[in-house]
Structure 1
């Protein structure tokens, strides 16, 4: 994806400095928020063990699938992967890895589309996504429908920036739309989660924040396994299998 200008980066950095927790190394309950995340054995140790075990078991198959998808994208034209900044646990910024699903000049096209269409601008400002996005390529549409574009995020899980299940990874510029983010910053963002598998996947950020708070306060092994199974069901319904 195109690299933002230096002025844009400085503006985003100033915004993050104003909105992120003042001391991201302090425990969440000491930052002035009333939110208290689950802190049992699974939350502190078991969840990370599940992430690593799942990746080690699935990696051989995942690498083959990622390789085939990357080849299809290269044949369609352009790079196969892209990275984008996201906010992780305690406000830490990291680079999320995905298979590219849009045209190479997606950011520039978006600015032109939003400038020309007020209704599209309103939709984007409210949800930071477009229900019918013309920038998505033919291969990219298949990858999104099957959620295969998310597979490279297994690397982010392996490095500890993400988890299999958790809040949807947030872009820095989305923070003002999210509202109070204590529940989000309490956990590693996930490849899937409560908000992602909801029928209201296009909902506004207030619903997204509530879903993250509900998940963080009731975190459990049973809940994570249930969400992983629901994710499989959602993917099957999207593909029509």
Structure 2
């Protein structure tokens, strides 16, 4: 029986016990009827199922699951607070209900921490471990050995088989020797390096596995093409490698990001731009001639063109669509200098976010002329156009904003944009937003 057989149901039951007991103790009026009980428990079931929140992957750890955990909190929070609209009114204040929800989140987090902590102890002591061998030896052997050698993953690496003899202490013999060894030593998982095995050898090992409750895993000959962003998709029974996978390829992830963008941009438009636009308009009329807003065609997702809006920070000039602002740029007005240093000039782009051309966080959109320049001169430049452009981004908070002085500036910008695409999470977006706001109060050398 799979050692992980009871992990999912036990974790699921523990989480439901925490939720139900907290609601029963702290807000009994919201809980003590059959409709409320079904509402909270079924909601948890469907959300965790949709997020695939209870996987049994051996290599999963707390940090990897953290993104899913906060997404779960966000979605369950929406369900939780909407219950006070759809179900009967309750005698609790909004402030108290928020405290109750945060208590549930805290208890679930503590349980999750204890779960991974105790699991890691068990695996380090090898009370529960998976006996593993590798058949074949190529460049991937060292890479997979690093995984097996991490105690928290619970592998017990026995050694490898290959038809080329070796003096390595982990060399166990030829491929033919492996057949008996697997049974005699109760090996549970067999990893086969496809580059070193013939078709008949792989088929023979598959037959052994299918008839003996052994797990066999094939590591394909990667031709050095694999990357950290790669994923494998099944088209019927055909495995297809997606070399540029992103969490935002998932529909629910895009939906969460879009909902966040709408609510955040609406808040900024209502509570900030509603009074800031008239103030900037008056100051701009006193400072220089020209319109309040500056609009420019820029490339967005899939290289689609859209109008990007900013507060005008320069005097009217013929180079505005071809030349970036430079240090000491004579085109920048006095008011424009203040707007640019504080990034206030970018705030009208929240209208772009609201209508869907941009996101709060993402790669900064470039002028059309610069896209044409960099797509042929900078490796992987166009990868950043798989995402909606953002008002701010990881590259910007890492210091790669504004003028491109050296080629390394645009190369590093692209590198950070791709990293963001591969590692996106709603928590990551919030961290970048907080860092952006913090940077406003710190002198940025490129804020001109």
- TM-score, scaled to structure 1: 0.73
2:257 equivalent to 1:47: yes
2:309 equivalent to 1:100: no
Partner of 1:232: 437
> How many residues are treated as equivalent by the alignment?
193
Give me the CA root mean square deviation.
2.5
Residue 222 of structure 1 is aligned with which of 427, 430, 439? 427
* 1:143-172 superposed Cα distances (whole Å, 9 cap, x missing partner): 011111011101100110000000011111
Residue 172 of structure 1 is aligned with which of 368, 382, 386? 368
Residue 144 of structure 1 is aligned with which of 333, 337, 340? 340
For residues 72 and 62 of structure 1, what CA distance do their matches in structure 2 show? 15
Of 52-61 and 176-185, the range deviating more from structure 2: 176-185
3-state secondary structure, aligned to 1:161 = coil
Larger RCO, structures 1/2 (Cα 8 Å, 6+ apart) = 1
Partner of 2:381: 181
For residues 350 and 317 of structure 2, what CA distance do their matches in structure 1 show? 26
2:374 touches 2:381 (CA, 8 Å); kept in 1?
no
1:106 touches 1:135 (CA, 8 Å); kept in 2?
no
Q: CA deviation at 1:182?
A: 4.0
1:167 touches 1:188 (CA, 8 Å); kept in 2?
yes
Distance 1:238 1:67, change over 3 A: farther
2:160 equivalent to 1:160: no
3-state secondary structure, aligned to 2:397 = coil
Partner of 1:212: 417
2:266 equivalent to 1:56: yes
Of 80-89 and 54-63, the range deviating more from structure 2: 54-63
* 1:168-189 superposed Cα distances (whole Å, 9 cap, x missing partner): 1111111222533343111110
2:400 touches 2:413 (CA, 8 Å); kept in 1?
no
- TM-score, scaled to structure 2: 0.40
Q: Which has the higher strand share?
A: 2
2:268 equivalent to 1:72: no
Q: CA deviation at 1:100?
A: 0.7
3-state secondary structure, aligned to 1:238 = coil
* 1:30-52 superposed Cα distances (whole Å, 9 cap, x missing partner): xxx94222234663210000000
